Chains A and B, each alone.
Chain A
Amino acid sequence: MSNSFLEIIDLTKRFGDILALDRVNLKIEKSEIFSLLGSSGCGKSTLLRIIAGFEKPDQGKILLEGNDITNLPPYIRPLNIMFQNYALFPHLNVTNNIKFGLKEESFSKQEINNRVNEILNLLELNGLEERKVNEISGGQQQRVALARCLVKKPKLLLLDEPLAALDKQLRIQTQFELINLQNKLGITFIIVTHDQEEAISLSDRMAIMQNGEILQVGNPVEIYEKPKNTYIANFIGTANIFHILNKDNQIIIEELNYEIKNINNNKNFNKCLIRPEKINIKKIENQSDNSNVGIVKEVAYLGSYTKYLIEVNGIQFYSFMQNSLVSDNLQIKWDDKVEFKFNDSSIFWFND
């Protein structure tokens, strides 16, 4: 018997010929923000809907605090979901939307009012009580949707693309608010998102999904720095992936013809990842005998950093340089010859 907060065991779901979830196993701990990340159609929403109880799995079990909730209808499960389009009741005002879930339980009027006031304060919705839900802004609607769930004091809150409907400015602000709120309340959050930046900045841990399978589970640093395969490496951030050649006693990055020294590749990894920010480039004026030389094919100035696309032996890769030394960096232009450098310890090896 394990003591994980939420345990998903061998969950399988088919829609006709499509295998939406393929023996998914997942353990989620209490009070963590867990993200399910993947492109559309990867099964993350199906998984969320099964946890919420809207869909029944074909196989597998869901245990919440050790109790099997697989066959409980959604109205009995001690968890709530915030929908991507919020699904606020258009015929009710803000207060009545928030009260809706409380009225379904046997609370006294006093208790209901106390809880509603508490949540209105917490989410700064005072003054909007009597407003119709389609008379308030998108950000306010999002907070009402959140309030409607949190007022029920759920053990687990599911959030389906919680920030997708907000504009960018508001999204970043709301991200921090969500984290603060979660810290304050200690409720376990499961967030479904297709936005990798959102997942990285929100999550304690995350799962990467593809074709109904979970590819990797880990904290954002692990996922970013140590992706299990090429798909994950490319899905999270920008990835430079090279092939490894093991020749005699030499370990060579095939594309760059670069020999890595002082490292033992005894596991025979065949690929490696070097994140663009770990590759430094420097303009070279005159012809030198240094072999690590490439030609700049693209320059994209992005404010805090600049993206360079470097070509070596017909292979292209990215280098991101912080713009802390503006005068130096700005000198690098298209078709410039540059010398590139990276620390051998920043190379991540994997088999794919």
Chain B
Amino acid sequence: MIHQYFGLMIRYLKKQNFWFVFTPYFWLILFFFIPLALIFKISISVSEWGMPPYRDLFSLSEEGFKIDSTLSNYLFIFSDPFYIRSYLNSLSLAFTSTILCLVIGYPIAFYVAKSQANIRIILLVLLIIPFWTSFLLRVYAWKVLLQGSGIINSILIHLGFITEPISMLHNHYAVILGVVYTYLPFMILPLYGYLVKFDLNLIDAANDLGAKPVNTFLKVILPLSLPGIIAGSMLVFIPVVGEFVIPEMLGGSDKLYFGKIIWDEFFVNRDWPVASALAMSGIVILIFPIVIFQLMYAKYNFKNE
């Protein structure tokens, strides 16, 4: 009797377990792998005029089953330094803004994590409030602030620092500003998550053992917040590589960014196969640093479990 009941329970648990584990994978397959496969399919298709603007990969006609695929899209983008340069521009933008977000975000996260509980809640809400406004509106606000007749120029002219408005918009500095502004909370929140768990006694202990404040930071605080730094950096770096709205709104012609190039290939040139090949290449190149980061992160977490 007990044996039977036990067997039934195990079977029930196994069944539970399967759905429990499978649900997120199902989600991932439906909304990530299938679209990715479709993009891959388009990337190896031949471009042509029409709707959709590429030839079917597989066709079944009187001549029989035919696969109509090509690698020429990939060969094309890798032979044209224009695309490679735009990718490097995006990587450099992502790198610069990640560092800036880290440098600006770390002290903020530390301050929030170490303030009293009632103040901490207010500060966290202040961090999250910008998300209630559309991201487009927030970036557009910068456009208004930075433009020739914008507030910053008006104030500077009014105060007599300058006579002519400075051109602050439509260059890559404006893009960096917009990106750092937009992505800062994504750096602060994971950092905060780690720093809030940080035992302040460790700082006292390091001080007591003879470590000056700088060494205490480098040898104790920094290594222990490394998981937060990695998590925050990934949350900033990865989306910024593909960012196209901010360069579109604040950027100029001095630097072209990868995300914007893909956008233009899709919607301006209507060359879906080349755009798809660009997207696929971008993903493949990015996967390596992500995997390395993830492994580091997992190893670090495991070590400190």
Residues of A at the B interface (CB closer than 8 Å) are 52-54, 73-77, 80-81, 83, 85, 87-91, 100-101, 104-105, 132, 134, 148-149, 152
Which residue on A lies nearest to B202, using beta carbons? A87
B303 within 8 A of A: yes
B205 within 8 A of A: yes
* Contact present for A54 and B211 (CB under 8 Å): no
In the assembled complex, which residues on chain A have CB atoms less than 8 Å from the CB atom of B207? 53-54, 73-75
**B223 to A, closest residue via Cβ:** A91
- Is B220 part of the binding interface, using a Cβ–Cβ cutoff of 8 Å? yes
Residue numbers of B with Cβ under 8 A of A are 199, 201-202, 204-212, 215, 219-220, 223-224, 303-304
Q: Is the CB of A83 within 8 A of B209?
A: no
Q: Given contacts A85-B199, A101-B209, A101-B210, are A91 and B204 in contact (CB under 8 A)?
A: no
Whether B202 lies near A89 (C-beta < 8 A) is yes
**Nearest chain B CB to A206 CB, angstrom units:** 23
Cα A54 to Cα B201 in complex, Å, equals: 10
- The reply to whether B208 and A75 form a contact with Cβ atoms under 8 Å apart is yes
Instruction: Tell me which of A76, A104, A134 contacts B215 (CB under 8 A).
Output: A104
Tell me which of B209, B212, B304 contacts A100 (CB under 8 A): B209
What is the interface of chain B mostly: helix, strand, loop, or mixed?
helix
Are B204 and A90 closer than 8 Å at their CB atoms? Answer: no
- The dominant DSSP class at the A interface is loop
Cα-based distance from A231 to B211 in the complex (angstroms): 41
4 further contact pairs, Cβ within 8 A, besides A75-B208, A104-B212: A75-B207, A89-B220, A101-B210, A101-B211
A21–chain B nearest beta-carbon distance, Å:
18
Q: How many A-B residue pairs have CB under 8 A?
A: 67
Chain B minimum-CB-distance residue to A85: B201
Report the minimal beta-carbon distance from A92 to chain B, rounded to whole angstroms: 9
CB <8 Å contact, B210 and A87: no
Bound-complex Cα distance A152 to B204 (A): 16
Q: Cβ of A89: which chain B residues have Cβ within 8 Å of it?
A: 202, 205-206, 220, 224
CB of A167, distance to nearest CB on chain B (Å) = 22
Contact A80 B208, CB 8 Å, known A85-B199, A91-B224, A104-B215: yes
| Bound Cα distance from A116 to B209, whole angstroms | 14
**Contacts of A148 on B, CB cut-off 8 Å?**
209
Distance, CA A232 to CA B205, complexed state (A) = 33
Residue of A nearest to B209 (CB): A101
